[in-house]
Structure 1
Amino acid sequence: MITIPERISLANLPTKIEKLDRLSAQLQGPSLYIKRDDQTGTEFAGNKIRKLEYCIREALDQGCDTLITCGGIQSNHCRATAAVAAKLGLKAIVVLRGEQPDTYEGNVLLDHLLGAEVRWISSEDYRDHRMNIMNDIASEVSAHGQQAYVIPEGASSGIGAFGYYTALQEIVQQEQELGISFDAIVVALGSGGTHAGLLLAQQLLETSHRIIGINVCDDEQYFQKAISTVIQESSHYIDQPVHIPLKAIEIIDGYVGKGYAQSQPQELKCIQDLASLEGVILDPVYTGKAFYGLLEEIRKGTFEDMQNILFIHTGGLYGLFPHASSFRF
């Protein structure tokens, strides 16, 4: 029996699983299902809250009163962290990549509404020094008599990964209730923590699911290393070594497109088509790219030996609105 760390309960769980009937019929391939982790809440909607439930429990256990994290200007994770901090009476400091805009919209608007302190750093500093910058802020907080807890980008850490360890337990229970089994679980890869948690659970619970990530930035090699690192960190919490060879970390590369948070017409059309066909709205940064990649791979025959595929909708609705001008109706 594996004992995992404790968490606080904040998300609306379990999230439901829906079959995409009309899309599945159009594709004439495996049946497609979607897990609605975009419905984990309102202010903290998306996959990040599952990970934050574990991170923030650890922060509270350590007596911390300030949460420090980082992300892009439309970071779902930063917005979720700000929301949880407000709910629990904590302070949030979010470090955002890029230049401060003249007007706020989407997630960055919500960061401010939720009372987070927002600090801006250059893209270069974010890429090369973000952890050092957050640790320096933590020292600054400590000098003022408070105690900070630093959460890495996307809450992709050893403790955060348990959010998707328990998500796979949830999926297994839902499979029993629905009377089906999923051959593969597909998820967008932005920082790697969600994939790491699913793969950790798949290994330790010995389920037969293939865990497949579709990266929306960087490349396959980068994420294989990042996921492996998170899993190694997680193993320290359960006092049990977990070794997963890099080649066993399945990633479908090739759908980054123009780059992180930059959309191509075919990706936007995929978002629009799914919305009008199934009433499900994806986001352009994560789920839109990954779902487009999944559909392309189904059309290529990559999944022809599978019957049921589950795609995890990791949220991101608020990040859709700043891209409104990119859509053509």
Structure 2
Amino acid sequence: MSESLPIPLPSRLRLAHLPTPLQPLDRISERHSFPYGGPRIWVKRDDLTESGMSGNKLRKLEFVAAEALGQECDTLITCGGVQSNHCRTTALVGARLGFKVHLLLRGERDAAIDGNLLLDHLAGADVTIYPPSEYAGNLGRIFTHWRERYTALGRRAFCIPTGASDGLGIWGYLAASMELMQDCRAQGFVPDHIVCATGSGGTQAGLTLGCQLLEVESRVTGYAVCDNAAYFQNKVREDIRHWVDLTECSVDLASLTINVNANYMGPGYGEAGPEVYQTINKVANLEGLLLDPVYTGKAFHGLLQELGKGRYSGCSNLVFVHSGGQFALFPHRDNFSFSGV
């Protein structure tokens, strides 16, 4: 096992409160893992990277914002769903650093200003909402339009892809991989499995590549919250290939194993079935841990189902990376019944 990555980290802004805690979920383990011969479950609390900027996206934006400043940009343009955690984090990071922020959101133009969208507005971001049909086929042209618009106004815009998931953003979870392994070693183990929600692919890409570069045998699995397994296998590989192109670091791409479970995404992105809301309620009851119905709730529900099937039997320790997203709970308030666990 290597103690560090083979190349130094690039320029980075210290925005997150790191390291985030690693804590056991023993009540969940006793109920949902141990009876099936499964591992002790731990959670890496990346929901605690900050307060308003909380979540996995802040780790990526430490590197992305540093690059934008290095290029003397004054405007950040990014995109996502109307309740995007990434867009909310970008809006708040921009406010903190003095960037103008423009968010290109997918959704209905009359969307309630609640949850993440409320925080976007509070942070002073410009928000343009596009219907899904217009957004899906035209995102590249939409980015180009706004970048050229800001150029004409004398501004210099830096465009950030969905979820900051590319060869630059991947640095966030390469650095997190080192932090996680240090956490685990301090607790006396190397995790057999690392699990995360996968919505744009960047977090899983960073963890997957990080484990390979650190020469650990932990198996990384992303639980998809939209799209299918093949899509995310390709997207993760694409992000890693982009990182290789940027860094010229030698990586055996053919040897990468990219594990995606796409069986628990429910009706689609931003939509969840009653079983996910029940899991969110259960985890809050048992562990005081808040999950969300878009990302972590789906992934943790999938994990519990797989534990019950004996999928992780014979393993000692599993780490669930909590990528944040609690603000998305509030627009879904009507889906909770509070009928008990």
TM-score, normalisation: structure 1 = 0.97
Equivalent runs, 1:170-209 vs 2, <5 Å:
170-209=179-218
* 1:12 match: 17
| TM-score, normalisation: structure 2 | 0.94
User: What secondary structure sits across from 1:248 in the alignment?
Assistant: coil
Which of the numbers 285, 288, 299 marks the counterpart of 1:279?
A: 288
SS in 2 for 1:134: helix
Task: Provide closer, same or farther for how the CA distance between residues 39 and 129 of structure 1 changes in structure 2, counting only shifts above 3 A.
Answer: same
**Aligned residue identity for 1:8:** L
Report the CA distance between 1:245 and its aligned residue. 3.6
Q: Which amino acid aligns with 2:17?
A: N
Distance 1:246 1:272 in 2: 39
Question: How big is the shift at 1:304?
Answer: 0.5
Report the aligned-residue RMSD. Answer: 1.2
> 2:63 is matched by which residue type in structure 1?
Y
Tell me the equivalent position of 2:120. Answer: 111
Match for 1:123 among 123, 132, 141?
A: 132
CA contact (8 A) 1:99 1:121 kept: yes
Q: Name the CA distance, whole Å, in 1 between partners of 2:62 and 2:45.
A: 18
List structure 1 runs of 4+ shifted beyond 6 angstroms. none
Question: Aligned equivalents of 2:315 and 2:288: distance in 1?
Answer: 25
Q: Which 5+ residue runs of structure 1 have no aligned equivalent? A: none
Distance 2:215 2:255 in 1: 18
Distance of aligned partners of 1:179 and 1:42 in 2 relative to their CA distance in 1, 3 Å threshold: same
Contact 2:241 2:253 in 1 (8 A): no
Mapped to 1, the partners of 2:289 and 2:192 lie a distance apart of 22
Tell me the CA shift for residue 81 of structure 1: 0.1
Cα distance in 1 between the residues matched to 2:292 and 2:181: 26
Q: Which of residues 61, 75, 83 is equivalent to 1:66?
A: 75
Select which of 239, 243, 259 maps to 1:230: 239
What secondary structure, in the 3-state scheme, does the structure 2 residue paired with 1:81 have?
helix
Residue equivalent to 1:211:
220
Question: CA shift at 1:181, angstroms?
Answer: 1.8
Deviation of the 1:132 alpha carbon = 2.3
Q: CA deviation at 1:246?
A: 8.5
Identity rate of aligned residues, in percent? 45
Moved more, 139-148 or 2-11: 2-11
235-244 or 186-195, which moves further after superposition?
235-244
1:130 Cα shift?
1.3
After superposition, give the CA deviation of every residue in 1:168-203 in whole Å (9 maximum; x if it has no partner). Answer: 000111112111221110000100000001111111
1:225–1:246: 8 Å Cα contact kept in structure 2? no
Q: Distance in 2 between matches of 1:245 and 1:287?
A: 29
Q: How many angstroms apart in 2 are the aligned matches of 1:178 and 1:60?
A: 38
Range with greater deviation from structure 2 (235-244 or 311-320): 235-244
Separation in 1, partners of 2:255, 2:190: 26
- In 2, the alpha carbon distance for the partners of 1:226 and 1:20 equals 31
Partner SS state of residue 101, structure 1: coil
Superposed, 1:1-329 pairs within 5 Å as 1-27=6-32, 28=34, 29-101=38-110, 103-245=112-254, 248-329=257-338
2: CA distance, partners of 1:279 / 1:296: 20
Letter matched to residue 25 of structure 2 = L
Q: In structure 1, what is the equivalent of residue 3 of structure 2?
A: none
The whole-number CA distance in structure 2 between the counterparts of 1:102 and 1:208 is 44
CA distance in 2, matches of 1:299, 1:151: 39
Moved more, 215-224 or 120-129: 120-129
SS in structure 2 of the partner of residue 67 of structure 1:
strand
